[in-house]
Amino acid sequence: MNLGVALALYGLRTLVIDLDPQGNASTALGVDHTVGTPSIYDALVGDSTLTEVVHPTTASPHLLCVPATIDLAGAEIELVSVVAREHRLRRAIEGYIAALPPEKRPHYVLIDCPPSLGLLTLNALVAGDEVLIPIQCEYYALEGLGQLLNNIDLVRQHLNPGISVRTILLTMYDGRTKLADQVADEVRNHFGDVVLDAVIPRNVRVSEAPGYGQSVLTYDPGSRGSTSYVEAARELAHRGLDLPPVDRSGTPAAATAFAVADAPAAGTQDGQ
Ligand SMILES: Nc1ncnc2c1ncn2[C@@H]1O[C@H](COP(=O)(O)OP(=O)(O)OP(=O)(O)O)[C@@H](O)[C@H]1O
Ligand SMILES: [Mg+2]
């Protein structure tokens, strides 16, 4: 969500889809997500189009958000009996983009995944062109990673041949600990160029911001948390420049949809 705000502040039209029943991304973007608010649940399980559930944000006119209400917790089960259950989100996004004139289409669609690997995350991995994994510079983050990568492989084989991990963002980096450096080194050795140069430090402003319904970029623009997210978004946007298909007027023919997946923590079913 901080990346979404940073991309929007660059002038890139960005849509954040909150796919986590906890609704943390909605909270941080100041978007109402009390029960009854038109939300991603209505598009996934109900008959709403994405257009009907998109909300503006206070962070930037370029940033729109589809919030998640607690109803979404039931969607894991309700989706089981729905036709084309793994493809609901992809179709909703495709329909949304197709209905917009080119100059209004988002440059980026960011889908915030729940921490478990159920039907909601599967929908995100089928809808996405790329996976972005924020990895906390802590030991447990690496243990959950293998499981997540296996699942992405399975989705590639069976449901979405185009999906791959294109971006890894190191977060919660604490320069005072050896462990943080070890984790960062290990991730860089293993994943190479996929890892962004920018690293998000452990910064109290990042954790305070959601309490004010804000991203860290609007809450404290000068903080290290904020400047490092701006740096990460700049790298992401520069990578996007190389991605086909981009028409010459500078408007991408299609948006790049990222599934932002949490690596579940080791030893638990749902990563909590
Ligand atoms: N760089 C940071 N510095 C300090 N605190 C942070 C930082 N990044 C995240 N946090 C804290 O950790 C909390 C969880 O962060 P975040 O929502 O990114 O985790 P998550 O892995 O997506 O959680 P979940 O698995 O529940 O979806 C934030 O609300 C914030 O308090
Ligand atoms: Mg999350």
Buried b (16+ CB within 10 A) or exposed e, 151-165: bbeebeeeebeebeb
Range of the domain at 160: 2-260
Q: What is the pLDDT of residues 101-152, one digit of tens each?
A: 999 999 999 999 999 889 999 999 999 999 999 999 998 888 888 889 999 9
For range 35-45, the mean pLDDT: 97
For range 253-269, the mean pLDDT: 62
Which is more confidently placed, 199 or 139? 199
- Per the prediction, the chain carries an average pLDDT of 90
Residue of the CA atom closest to atom 28 of ligand 1: 207
Reported pTM: 0.90
Asked if residue 174 belongs to a domain, the reply is yes
Q: How many domains does the chain have?
A: 1
Asked if residue 271 belongs to a domain, the reply is no
Q: Give the domain CATH number at 232.
A: 3.40.50.300
Asked if residue 181 belongs to a domain, the reply is yes
Query: Binning pLDDT at 50, 70 and 90, where does residue 215 land?
Result: very high
pLDDT over 70 at 210, yes or no: yes
Return the best residue to mutate from 172, 224, 231 for the ligand 1 pocket (most ligand atoms within 8 A of CB): 172
Residues 168/153, Cβ–Cβ less than 8 Å: no
Q: Is the CB of 206 under 6 A from ligand 1?
A: yes
Of all ligands present, the nearest one to the C-alpha of 199 is: 1
Asked if residue 166 belongs to a domain, the reply is yes
Q: Is the CB of 207 under 6 A from ligand 1?
A: yes
For range 195-210, the mean pLDDT: 97
Q: What is the pLDDT of residues 152-164, one digit of tens each?
A: 999 999 999 999 9
Residues 7/220, Cβ–Cβ less than 8 Å: no
Asked if residue 202 belongs to a domain, the reply is yes
CB contact set of 222 (below 8 Å; sequence gap of 6+)? none
Return the best residue to mutate from 207, 215, 224, 230 for the ligand 1 pocket (most ligand atoms within 8 A of CB): 207
Residue % of the chain over a pLDDT of 70: 91
Residue of the CA atom closest to atom 10 of ligand 1: 207
Asked if residue 272 belongs to a domain, the reply is no
For range 54-61, the mean pLDDT: 96
Asked if residue 270 belongs to a domain, the reply is no
Query: Binning pLDDT at 50, 70 and 90, where does residue 262 land?
Result: confident
259 has which bridge partners? 111, 131
pLDDT over 90 at 27, yes or no: yes
Nearest to 109 by CA among 184, 42, 47, 40: 40
Asked if residue 269 belongs to a domain, the reply is no
